[in-house]
Amino acid sequence: MRHEKPVGERVRALEWTGEALRLLDQRLLPHEARWVEARGAAEVAAAIRDMVVRGAPAIGIAAAYGAVLAARAHATGPAGDWRPAFEAELRGLERARPTAVNLRWALVRMRRRLDAALVAGEDPAAALEAEARAIHAEDVAANRRMGALGAARLGGRCAVLTHCNTGALATGGWGTALGVVRSAHAAGLIERVYADETRPWLQGARLTAWELVQEGIPVSLVADGAAAWLLRQGGVRWVIVGADRIAANGDVANKIGTYGLALAARRHGAGFMVVAPLSTLDPDTPDGHGIAIETRPADELLACGGRRVAPEGAGAWNPVFDVTPAELVDVLVTEAGVVERPDRARIGALLARAGAAGG
């Protein structure tokens, strides 16, 4: 029997118990739902690094709760006595995944809240817990807003193509690109979702397809190498993806394979939509050349499901992300509004409006 609530509202990548951070181990889905409990910042950093939790927004939220755990472990007595140990914990969190800017953004915000708490004489751990809860709640609200804005841009009922997982499992809840799909499906606008398998971790096959099946949204899995040929057939109107970092000029770092999809979409007349919260925009990075691209172990490519598929002696190049130039992006959807053909001026104007609205 299907649940009344959509999976986007039921599934959570992480839960804060008040004492610890519980993380749904996404390496085991869809076959097993196992929760990992982190009671220290180092455990949160390890979970981020080892892909227990993934997706830029979810990583940022997890890091915020990791800062709470660091404060609980160290924040007693004069700040000068414990702040170095606290900062060492935060640096460990920052190093866990270097490309996703949400992680750094969340920790900058937590540091600012800590500074304010110390000036005001507040309890540091309590202040940081309230801030982490706020970051979590704001992400869910932003996803809902982006879902509505993105769905409104589809231009009618259509088929769409997604890459990686950008759903409830990658965020605080609902999703970014998959949040647009959810909102569009609720409005009767989704004919079918084609989900790239997304090698080598198969997030599209294991996670996106699972979320969509749970919700009754029609989904067909596509081998990564078949996506360009699918777009040539002409049945897909939009490619909809998330982002791990967006530079000041609109260049987009996202899961490896995104750049190729953008090229194919432009060649075959499909729209290319990027859906990401404001926390993913990085105005301090001028363009995509300044984005550090994480490279992970070769074994992730040389083996599958724990079984080696390549011959002994073969090496591998395993970048986790690529960068899509801004000129290939048709629409950028954020919770603060939609930007067509994003560039430095349009993104700057968006951030200025969002800053003014936020006071």
Burial 25-44 (b: 16+ CB within 10 A, else e): bbeebeeeeeebebebbbbb
- The answer to whether residues 44 and 21 touch, using CB atoms and an 8 Å cutoff, is yes
Instruction: Work out whether the CA dihedral 24, 25, 26, 30 comes out positive or negative.
Output: negative
Residue 95: name the closest of 140, 44, 139 by CA.
44
Task: Give the position of tokens 């919770």.
Answer: 335
> What's the token pair of residue 14?
């992480």
Q: Which residues pair with 16 in a beta bridge?
A: 21
- The answer to whether residues 242 and 274 touch, using CB atoms and an 8 Å cutoff, is yes
Residue 99: name the closest of 282, 344, 326 by CA.
282
Burial 273-297 (b: 16+ CB within 10 A, else e): bbbbbbbbbbeebeebeebebbebe
Catalytic-role residue among 139, 224, 244, 282: 244
Nearby residues of 134 by Cβ (< 8 Å), 6 or more positions away: none
Q: What is the spatial order of strands in the sheet that 271-275 belongs to?
A: 219-222, 190-196, 158-162, 236-241, 271-275, 331-334, 337-340
- The answer to whether residues 86 and 75 touch, using CB atoms and an 8 Å cutoff, is yes
How far is Cα 209 from Cα 211, in angstroms, rounded to an integer? Answer: 6
Residue 289: name the closest of 330, 341, 339, 249 by CA.
249
**Any catalytic annotation for residue 244?**
yes
Nearby residues of 67 by Cβ (< 8 Å), 6 or more positions away: 41, 89, 90, 93, 106, 107, 110, 114, 128, 132
- Residues recognised as catalytic: 244
